[in-house]
Structure 1
Amino acid sequence: MKPFLSIRDLRSGYAGGVVLGGVDLDLDAGGVVAVLGRNGVGKTTLVSTVMGFLRPYGGSVVLDGREIAGARTDVIARAGVGIVPQGRRVFAPLTVSEHLVVASRRKARGPWTRARVLDLLPRLGERLGHRGDQLSGGEQQMLAIARALLGNPTLLLLDEPSDGLAPAVVAQVGEVIRQVSAEGMSIVVVEQNLQLALSVARDVAVMQKGRIVHRTSCSEFRSRPHDRRRLLGID
């Protein structure tokens, strides 16, 4: 069976400089993979290239049999890719309700409606009239997740979802990711927080110098502290 997401020899960077030197990564339908690595190895560049924020220098990204490498961001979104970007990027002057209206305009078919999103993220229902700049970091992250889900993606990219959040909020984010995963969505999580990554993913892919250098199950990675120290410098 062919993987739902197949990335082959993906090369990308900024202003002609190479950051991704040939990434290979597969993900089965309904799978969750955590992309780990030290700062500067290309993790955000990877998700930005898959999403179309960056145009690749070469390589292939096939989603459910469709080549999307190099397509416009809106085309990639319509093909079924959603993203929760690093830093959340909510619009400061828009209310929570207005964010949800904008995210719903594409009317993508699927199970995620405004009502279901607010059921999953009830705190947002309490903050519908608040502007983006009136939300806490955790609330902004929940809004970024809600916005992505309303596009009804088949592949969800999460870039550093724990960034800047308190431990209790990180735990809440992890629970939301697990619930979304249980719905059968395919997910790529780029994360520095190893505890969160291993709690939500089934497999681990470690990046070094713009390439995937190690791929294993989360259970195997947990049991091999030597690999964690060698690849990530942490226990």
Structure 2
Amino acid sequence: MRLAIMQPYLFPYLGYFQLINAVDAFVAYDDVNYIKGGWINRNFICAKDHKQLITLPTQGASPNKLINQVLVGNGSRKLLQTIRQTYSKAPEFLTVFPLIEDIFHQEEENLARFVDYQLRQICEYLGINTTWYISSELKYDKALSGQERVLAICDEMGATHYINAEGGQTLYDKGVFSSRDKQLSFLRTKTTPYPQFSNTFTSHLSIIDVMMFNDKAQCMKLLQGYELV
């Protein structure tokens, strides 16, 4: 069984959803420490000729708290308006923006659950049917950390093949996984340009950008644009 584990990110880039689509089961890693300045509550969108950082406000955010202990702050409606103004002239705006509105209109104060909901809704839109789990609801040994913690989740889930984003190559050792009878692979996203507002393509933006400029069929093709290394 192929498994991926990732912290829940706000409107992550295409590679995040390629990873979810590449596995049989996905675990939203909500019971690890919140990373200030990471991607849990922010991402980049395309603003005409440059990329623009968008941030979901939080309450009580601290590296000393778990992701599922942080709350959503005030200002999410302003963020929604920024997305509306930025992409109002994008070809798929009328199809995609109602989905974004639904995400922001949820009455959820917990950051982990808020972000988890938006990930699931986007997966449904993209036609991704991977089985979904929340790490805090699993029964692995939570005293473990790092690679050993991930291996413990793999053991509980019965995973034989763990797939991580390419950046995880500095965190996980194929030899250690092999010694535990598990295959370890890393997903490398292939950059496939698509039309944006500017003549210069900007890659690795939020999935919002991908959906606003590509219809569902095109999005499905982009989801296949990766290799395992």
Whose strand fraction is larger, Structure 1's or Structure 2's? Answer: 1
Task: Report if TM-score (shorter chain) is over 0.5.
Answer: no
TM-score of the superposition, structure 1-length normalised? Answer: 0.29
TM-score when scaled to structure 2?
A: 0.29
